[in-house]
Structure 1
Amino acid sequence: MVADAFVRWFGTDPVVHGLVGGLVIAGLNLFGASLVFVWRNPSERAMDGALGFAAGVMLAASFTSLIVPGIETYADGNPIPVLIGVALGALFLDRSDVLVPHAHFLLSGRRRADAANPSEGLPVSDERFAGVVLFVLAITLHNMPEGLAVGVGFGSGDLETAIPLMLAIGIQNVPEGLAVSVAAVNAGLDRRLYAAFAGLRSGVVEIPLAVLGAYAVGTMAALLPYAMGFAAGAMLFVISDEIVPETHTGGHERVATLGTILGVIVMLYLDVTLG
C-alpha cells in the first residue's frame, strides 16, 4: 500500500523516485542539525545512545535492503558481484579517510571542545577553522554512501525495498545531523550558520548522488548488484570504523549498544511492515 501511494504521488520514473529519496534524507539531516537550537547541549550519554541507534538502523538496512536483495533478486543468487561491491565500498571509504585525515569525527571533536568550554563554543582560530573544514569534509564524504544507497534502491525499481531503506537512512540522519552540529558549534562555528550550512552540505551531496545512483542502475542494470554491494560496504565501514568506536570511548558503551539493538529492531520492523 505504501508503494502504491508513492507511485500515485511521484509517478513511476526511478530517477524521480531517487530525487524524492534524496530530498527526504537531506531534509531529515537538516532537521537533525536544526535540533541544536532546542537541544543546545545534549549529554555525551544521550548522543552515544542516539548514534548507536543510527548505527543499528544502518547495519540492518545494509543487509535487508542492499546485500540480501542484491544477491537474491538482482544477481540470481550469485553472491560474487555484491561481495565485490561490498569490498570496493569499504575500500573507497578507507582511502577517503587517508585523504581526509580527520577520521573519527562524530563525537571526538565534540568531546575535545566540551572539555575546554561545555556550553557556548570557542573562538575560531585559523588552526581551529582548518580543523572544522576537515571536519565538514569528512562528514560530507561519509554522507556519500547514504545518498548513493537510496538512489540505488530506487533505481532497482523495487519500491518495497527502497522506501524502507529511504526511511531508515533518513531516520539515522537525524541523530547524526544533531551530533555533527553540536560538534561544529562547540568547535567555534555559529549555531545558526552551521545549522543552515548543514542542510545545504547534506543536500549538495546526498540529493545528486541519489539521482545519479537511480539513473546509473536504471540504465545499466548489470551494475545493480555491484552498486548495492558498494553502498552497503561503505555504510558498514562507517559503522565499524567511525560510529561504534566513537560511541564506546566515553564510558557509555551499554547505552550505545542498547541504542544499536533498538535501531536494528526499528529497521527490521520497517522492512517487514513496509516491504
Structure 2
Amino acid sequence: MPIKDPCAPAAVQPLRIQTLIGLLICAAGLLALCVQIWNMLQHQPPVRSALLGGSIAALATALGTLPVLLAQRPSERVQDTLFGFGAGVMLAASAFSLVIPGLDAARSAGLLGGSGWAAGGIVGMAILTGGAALLAMDHLLPHEHFIKGREGSDAGQLRRTWLFVFAIILHNLPEGLAIGVGYAGNEGLRANALAIGIAIQDVPEGFVVATALLAAGYSHRFAIALGVASGLVEPLGAVAGAAIIGHSALLLPWGLGFAAGAMLFVISHEIIPESHRKGHEAFATAGLLTGFVLMMVLDTAL
C-alpha cells in the first residue's frame, strides 16, 4: 500500500483552512476591541482626552527622531545631558502630578478612614507595586536575543543599546498610563500640564533612542522607525488608564501611585545609571535639575 505524502496539497488544505479561521477570529476580536474603544470615546470624555494627550506624547517622540536625518551621532556629553533632562522631568511628574494628587484622592475617598497615615500607606503600597511590576517586566525582557553573533565589546555595546531602548519603550507604557490616570482623576489643567510635561521630555527621548541605535550601527531609517514606534504605546496606555480609573474612583490613588512607582523605577534603574556611566555626571545632573524645574513650573503654573 503506497504511503501518502503528508506534504501533498490535500494535507495542506486543512492547515490553510485552520489558519484562515484563526485569522478571522483574530480580526473579529480586533474589531470588537475597536468598537469597545469607540464606545468609550463617545461616552467617556476623560478617555477621549487621554487618547488625545497620549497621541500628542507619541507625536513628540516621533518629532524627536527627525534631527537624526541631518545629524551624526551626538557626543556622549550631550547624550548624558539629555538622559538627565528626561530623568528630571519624570521625577517631577512623579512627585507633583502623581504622588501628591494620589494622596489627596486617598483622603477624599476616605479610604481606611481617610487619615494621613492611611493615605500615605495606600499610595506607598501602590508605588512599591508599580516598581515591582517594572522590575518583573525588566527581568522578562529577552535582552540577549539581540546580541547573537556579536562578541566582546561590540556585543556589550549592542546589549546596552537594546536594554536602553527596551527601557524607554517599557517606561512609555506607564507614562501613557499616567496621562490617562491624570485625565480620569485630575481637573483639566493639571492633566494637561502632566501630558505637556511628558510630551516635552519625549522629544529628547525620541532623539536619544534614534541616536543610540544609529551609534550601534543601524541605518538612519531603522533608527527613526523604532524611535517613532517606541512612543506608540503611550496612547494605548493613556486609554487603558483613563478607562480603568473611570470605572471606580477608589482605584484612583492606586493608579496614580502605581504609575509613579513605575516611573521612579525607570529613573533609578535605567536612566540615571546610564547617564553617569561615561563620566559626565555633572552634565547629567545639570540636565536632571533643569528638567525637574521645568516640569515643576509647568505643573504649578498651568
Q: TM-score, normalised by structure 2?
A: 0.74
Q: CA deviation at 1:156?
A: 1.1
- Equivalent pairs counted in the alignment come to 243
Q: CA deviation at 1:73?
A: 3.4
Q: Which runs of 5+ in 1 are unaligned?
A: 1-10, 104-111, 117-127
1:185 maps to which residue? 214
Q: CA deviation at 1:180?
A: 1.2
2:129 maps to which residue? 88
Q: CA deviation at 1:86?
A: 0.4
Q: CA deviation at 1:131?
A: 8.5
Are the equivalent residues in 1 in contact too, given 2:183–2:242 (CA < 8 A)? yes
Q: CA deviation at 1:101?
A: 5.7
Q: CA deviation at 1:53?
A: 1.0
Q: Which amino acid aligns with 1:18?
A: A
Are the equivalent residues in 2 in contact too, given 1:102–1:138 (CA < 8 A)? no
1:144 maps to which residue? 173
Are the equivalent residues in 1 in contact too, given 2:82–2:287 (CA < 8 A)? yes
Are the equivalent residues in 2 in contact too, given 1:36–1:178 (CA < 8 A)? yes
Question: Relative to 1, partners in 2 of residues 1:142 and 1:45: Cα closer, same or farther, differing over 3 Å?
Answer: same
RMSD of aligned Cα (Å) = 2.5
Match of 2:77 among 40, 45, 49: 45
Question: Relative to 1, partners in 2 of residues 1:266 and 1:131: Cα closer, same or farther, differing over 3 Å?
Answer: closer
Q: CA deviation at 1:135?
A: 6.0
Distance between the aligned counterparts of 2:95 and 2:139, measured in 1? 26
Q: Deviations over 1:215-258 (max 9, x none)?
A: 11111211110000000000001111111111111111001111
1:57 maps to which residue? 89
Match of 2:183 among 154, 157, 172: 154
Question: Relative to 1, partners in 2 of residues 1:47 and 1:133: Cα closer, same or farther, differing over 3 Å?
Answer: closer
Q: CA deviation at 1:12?
A: 7.9
Superposed counterparts of 1:214-229, under 5 Å: 214-229=242-257
Superposed counterparts of 1:13-32, under 5 Å: 13-32=45-64
Q: CA deviation at 1:74?
A: 4.2
Q: Which amino acid aligns with 2:244?
A: A
1:8 maps to which residue? none
Question: Relative to 1, partners in 2 of residues 1:132 and 1:243: Cα closer, same or farther, differing over 3 Å?
Answer: closer
Larger Rg: 2
Q: CA deviation at 1:25?
A: 0.7
Superposed counterparts of 1:108-127, under 5 Å: none
1:106 maps to which residue? none
SS of alignment partner, residue 92 of structure 2? helix
Give identity over the alignment, percent.
43
Superposed counterparts of 1:241-252, under 5 Å: 241-252=269-280
Are the equivalent residues in 1 in contact too, given 2:207–2:227 (CA < 8 A)? no
Q: Deviations over 1:126-152 (max 9, x none)?
A: xx6x99776654432222111111111
Are the equivalent residues in 1 in contact too, given 2:86–2:201 (CA < 8 A)? yes
Q: Deviations over 1:5-54 (max 9, x none)?
A: xxxxxx98100110011101101111112221133211110111111111
Distance between the aligned counterparts of 1:95 and 1:235, measured in 2? 14
Question: Relative to 1, partners in 2 of residues 1:36 and 1:14: Cα closer, same or farther, differing over 3 Å?
Answer: same
2:16 maps to which residue? none
Distance between the aligned counterparts of 1:191 and 1:270, measured in 2? 33
Question: Relative to 1, partners in 2 of residues 1:44 and 1:136: Cα closer, same or farther, differing over 3 Å?
Answer: closer
Distance between the aligned counterparts of 2:141 and 2:294, measured in 1? 32
Distance between the aligned counterparts of 1:239 and 1:134, measured in 2? 14
Q: Which amino acid aligns with 1:139?
A: I
Q: Which amino acid aligns with 1:235?
A: M
Q: CA deviation at 1:80?
A: 2.1
Are the equivalent residues in 2 in contact too, given 1:100–1:138 (CA < 8 A)? no
Distance between the aligned counterparts of 2:164 and 2:68, measured in 1? 17
Match of 1:166 among 195, 202, 215: 195
Q: CA deviation at 1:90?
A: 0.4
Are the equivalent residues in 1 in contact too, given 2:54–2:234 (CA < 8 A)? yes
1:236 maps to which residue? 264
Are the equivalent residues in 2 in contact too, given 1:75–1:225 (CA < 8 A)? no
1:122 maps to which residue? none
Match of 2:293 among 265, 270, 275: 265
